[in-house]
Structure 1
Amino acid sequence: MVSLLALASSAVWGTSDFFAGLFSRRRPAVAVVGWTQALAFLVISVVVLTQLGHVPWHGWPLWSVAAGLSGLTGLLCFYTALSTGTMGVVAPIAALGVAVPVLLGVATGDEPGPWTWVGILVAVIGVTLASGPELSGEVSPRPVVLAGVAAVGFGLALFCIDRGARTSTLMTLWGMRATSVVVFTVVALVARSVGGVVARELPALLVIGCGDMLANILFGLASSRGQVSIASVLGSLYPVVTILLARVVLKERLRAIQRVGAVLSLVGAAVIAF
């Protein structure tokens, strides 16, 4: 069940990231992140209101704020990279952030078995190979640098979500979204702009925001019921979904080494899961 939840989170993340990347080619990444986070916050706030008598108010606040700030940084850099670089390459680079929660998880007590380590190694190698030519410097380095910063942000966010979810997954994600909304409200007031977003674009932004939030929920449930190091690796396989969508919808062409990397990522997931 833990593996299925983590894999489901990667599928949802990969899909929402793809469409967020497309949207970021029309609107500034900061606007896309701000609106998706704000709309998702409204949805999860309704859920929280129905559970007020059953939620704890301790153990998650600091973790949720830390997750919100690190995740916010990751999303800004990631969406910007997706809008300017090759999606099929930017996504795998960002997924290398899985090393952060894996290392922190082991440092705080996780004890993956031998075959799990094999699966983790294969999956990480696969993600690295899928990064392909961008890592060789054959194209503009800016998307690569942004994806690298996103990787660290995502990795820290995953670890913080796991720690907060051990008390309450729902409240950790609510606090995470609340933190993002506060930051973007201040930015919007200072800039006196909402990023040019118009009413007809809100439904699409709502779906993207809820997709990202659903992936966080699935990951929080998986990591809080198992080892964060394992859940993080499985959850980080979202680039495979983004790569496939970019290939089908945008007709992006991947080199042989990138296709090998995608396959190895799936093999690593299978080893970890079974």
Structure 2
Amino acid sequence: MLSLLALASSAVWGTSDFFGGLMAKRLPAVAVVGITQSLAFVLLCVVVLVRLALGHPPEWGSWVGWAMLAGLSGATGLVAFYTALASGTMGVVAPIASMGVLVTVGLGVASGDTPSSWVWVGIAVAVIGIVLASGPEVSGAVSPRPVLLACVAALGFGLALFSLDRGSRDSMLMTLWGMRGTSVVIFAAAAVVLRSVGGAGRTHLVPLAFIGSADLLANVLFATASSRGQVSIASVLGSLYPIATILLARIVLKERLQRIQQIGVVFALAGAAIISL
């Protein structure tokens, strides 16, 4: 069950990231992240209010600190990631950003996770696949800016996933609510200071709502998976989202993958299979 949930989260994340990257070509990345996070936060507020009406008031606990850390690091990662997707090759930027799994795995092992030897083999194969899928941008064949932004995204994502896992062990719903609430406060303050929402209008609300809902669903799937097992395993499977992004970029944008990138995708899938089995 853990494997299926984590793999599902990677598929939804990859889809959300692809369309988020497309929107970032039309609107500033900060606007895309801020609005999608705000729309998802509204949805979470409705769920929290319904539970409150049913006699299930939220309980304050350790999730508060983890949610704030997840919100800050996740929002930073998304802004960097969408900016990189908008300015670089999607099929290359996404694999680099997914290297944040190393942060999550490292923190997971440091806090007590004990993956089996086969799981370690699967993790190694998957990580090698992610590196190979990064293709030409790792070799410096193109502008280094998308690479640097993707690295910032990787750090933010890795810390956000670990924080989401730890907070969800206390309360998954409230951690997600606090995570989104933290990022919304940050972007709302920025919008007030700049007196702008990045040029977003009513015509953008539907696709932005889709992106925000998909990202929220992926977070729910990942949090459910990691809370039922080891975060180091769930994070590797969840970090296979570049495959969905690469495939969509190939189908929709006609991006061509080099042979080494194709090999990388195969390695990543093989690593996922080893971990799942």
- Give the TM-score band, short-chain normalised: over 0.9
Aligned to 1:67: 70
1:243 deviates by 0.2
**Counterpart in 1 of 2:140?**
137
Gap runs ≥5 in structure 2: none
Letter in 1 for 2:153: A
Structure 2 partner of 1:208? 211
Structure 1 length-normalised TM: 0.99
* Partner AA of 1:31 in structure 2: A
Tell me the residue number matched to 1:105.
Answer: 108
Runs of 4+ in 1 over 3 A off after TM superposition: none
Measured in 2, the distance between the counterparts of 1:56 and 1:210 equals 25
How far off its partner does 1:56 sit? 2.6
**Alpha-carbon contact 1:56-1:167 (below 8 Å) kept:** no
Is 1:27 matched with 2:22?
no
Percent identity (aligned): 68
**Residue matched to 2:122:** 119
- Residue 57 of structure 1 aligns to a residue whose secondary structure is coil
- The CA distance in 2 between the partners of 1:179 and 1:211, in whole Å, is 19
Q: Is residue 58 from structure 1 mapped to residue 58 from structure 2 by the alignment?
A: no
Question: Which residue in the other structure is 2:276 paired with?
Answer: 273
Distance 1:121 1:88 in 2: 21
Q: What is aligned with 2:167?
A: 164
After the TM superposition, which of the residue ranges 197-206 and 152-161 deviates more from structure 2? 197-206
Tell me which residue corresponds to 1:46.
46
- The Cα of 1:51 is off from its aligned counterpart by 1.5
What amino acid does structure 2 have at the position aligned with 1:146?
Answer: L
Where in structure 1 are there 5+ consecutive unaligned residues? Answer: none
Partner amino acid, structure 2, of 1:82 = L
* Alpha-carbon distance in 1 for matches of 2:155, 2:59: 29
For 1:97, what is the secondary structure of its paired residue? helix
Determine which of 249, 261, 266 is the counterpart of 2:264: 261
Q: Return the match for 1:89 from 87, 92, 99.
A: 92
Q: Report the alpha carbon displacement of residue 201 of structure 1 after superposing the two structures with TM.
A: 1.0
Residues 1:150 and 2:164 are matched in the alignment? no
Matched residue of 1:186: which SS? helix
Matches within 5 A, 1:198-237: 198-237=201-240
* Paired letter, 1:39: L
SS at match of 1:111: coil
Counterpart-to-counterpart distance in 2, 1:169 and 1:212: 15
Matched pairs, number: 274
- Amino acid of the residue matched to residue 83 of structure 1? A
